[in-house]
A = this chain, B = another copy of it.
Amino acid sequence: MIKLIKSVRAMKKLSSGLRKKGCSIGFVPTMGYLHDGHISLVNEARKQNDAVVVSIFVNPSQFGPKEDLKKYPRNMKRDLALLSKAGVDIVFCPSTKEMYPEGYSTYIEVKGLSDKLCGASRPGHFKGVATVVAKLFNIVQPDTAYFGEKDYQQQVILRRMTADLNMDVKIVSMPTVREKSGLAMSSRNSYLSGDERSRAQVIGRSLKFAKTLINSGVKSSVKIKAAMSQLMNTSKLKIDYISICDPGTLDEKKVIKRKTLIAVAAYIGKTRLIDNIVIK
């Protein structure tokens, strides 16, 4: 029977109890409105741990003032059914007030990495992410936490944070789960109209195209970005960024060699979607 926990105190007590019994805890932090990407993380956590905790918390501190905090999709009933089916033991779904009580003042920043890619167009976003994840780690006390590679920059930043702050949590990242059309699964896909959804497929296609170009010998980032832009323009996407960079430092590369991250953010109508691939 899945346990639903709303208070920090109760969650801490439960986790401390599990750890004292020697149970390993796998943790999947989410903002809810779950899709197969989340479930793949849960399945991996289930395989590797004695207990699995999933958090559902739409974290205000990672949304900008003009972003989609209010309309972010929510469906707790459906989420709980999915998690129950996936064999999750505990769902932690605190209120905003429980996580950020009056007088809350502390923020964690991972300098450098947080200013690039999505950080450039979403100032403060990764500060909010780092802060809430540190809090959740301290509350849930996991041995291992699982993140999706669709949010590639996020897991790079969280690996840096846990190492820098000497936190005892192992970060595991899992491959992006895609629809048959190639569209990366995202809770925000629910914003898309039918037409937008088919136009959005071009993001995944542009990444595949980049890979094909690289495999055929094109090494210039400028050329690859131009080709990707051209392809995405056919579906009338507004490109936020195309980044061709080092997957560890997120520093832009002019010439492609060694392991490379190609990351894209683009607007389809008002919906901002991200996707990426790593070229080995």
**Complex Cα distance A139/B131, Å?**
19
**Complex Cα distance A48/B264, Å?**
55
Whether the pair B8, A106 counts as a contact (CB closer than 8 A) is: no
Shortest Cβ distance from A161 into B: residue:
B106
Tell me if A3 counts as interface (CB < 8 A to partner B).
no
Whether the pair B106, A168 counts as a contact (CB closer than 8 A) is: no
- Interface positions, chain A 83-98, Cβ under 8 Å from B, are none
- Interface positions, chain A 117-145, Cβ under 8 Å from B, are 130-131, 134-135, 138-139
| A109 contact set on B, CB distance < 8 A | 106-109
Whether the pair A138, B104 counts as a contact (CB closer than 8 A) is: no
Nearest Cβ on chain B to A167's Cβ, whole angstroms: 5
| Complex copy number for this chain | 2
Whether the pair A135, B104 counts as a contact (CB closer than 8 A) is: no
Tell me if A166 counts as interface (CB < 8 A to partner B).
yes
Whether the pair A108, B108 counts as a contact (CB closer than 8 A) is: yes
Nearest Cβ on chain B to A160's Cβ, whole angstroms: 6
**Complex Cα distance A226/B147, Å?**
58
Tell me if A82 counts as interface (CB < 8 A to partner B).
no
Nearest Cβ on chain B to A124's Cβ, whole angstroms: 12
Tell me if A165 counts as interface (CB < 8 A to partner B).
yes
Tell me if A215 counts as interface (CB < 8 A to partner B).
no
Nearest Cβ on chain B to A251's Cβ, whole angstroms: 12
| A167 contact set on B, CB distance < 8 A | 138
What is the number of residues of chain A that contact chain B, defined by CB distance less than 8 Å?
A: 26
Closest 9 CB pairs of A and B: A106-B164, A138-B166, A105-B111, A139-B166, A106-B161, A106-B110, A105-B110, A135-B166, A108-B108
**Complex Cα distance A105/B164, Å?**
7
| A135 contact set on B, CB distance < 8 A | 164-166
| A110 contact set on B, CB distance < 8 A | 105-106
Contact of A160 among B106, B130, B139 (CB under 8 A): B106
Tell me if A113 counts as interface (CB < 8 A to partner B).
yes
Tell me if A112 counts as interface (CB < 8 A to partner B).
yes
**Complex Cα distance A112/B168, Å?**
29
Nearest Cβ on chain B to A89's Cβ, whole angstroms: 20
**Complex Cα distance A168/B15, Å?**
12
Nearest Cβ on chain B to A62's Cβ, whole angstroms: 16
| A12 contact set on B, CB distance < 8 A | 166, 168
